[in-house]
Amino acid sequence: MIKGKESLLAAAEISRAAASIRIRYRTDVEAGMRAVVDGVTFRVEAVLPNVSTRDYTDLVCGTIASAS
């Protein structure tokens, strides 16, 4: 996880976490897709492929969950 914060939205407390996920190089991943890591579902916000060496792709991800 890169960062996280909690806030109030429409009178409900929510938490937001940002993460960077590195996967093997792929060209078929797009923003808006989901990634699941250890049971946590992330929304892919940006795809950053390493086009120079083509060995990995970084996914900039976020998750929004209700705080319990």
Model pLDDT for residues 1-50, shown as the tens digit of each residue: 555 555 555 556 566 778 899 999 999 999 999 999 888 889 999 999 99
Res 64 pLDDT > 80:
no
The DSSP bridge pattern shows strands 12-24 and 56-66 to be: antiparallel
Measured between alpha carbons, how far apart are the two ends of the chain, in Å?
19
pTM equals: 0.72
Q: Residue type at 57? A: T
Q: Residue type at 23? A: I
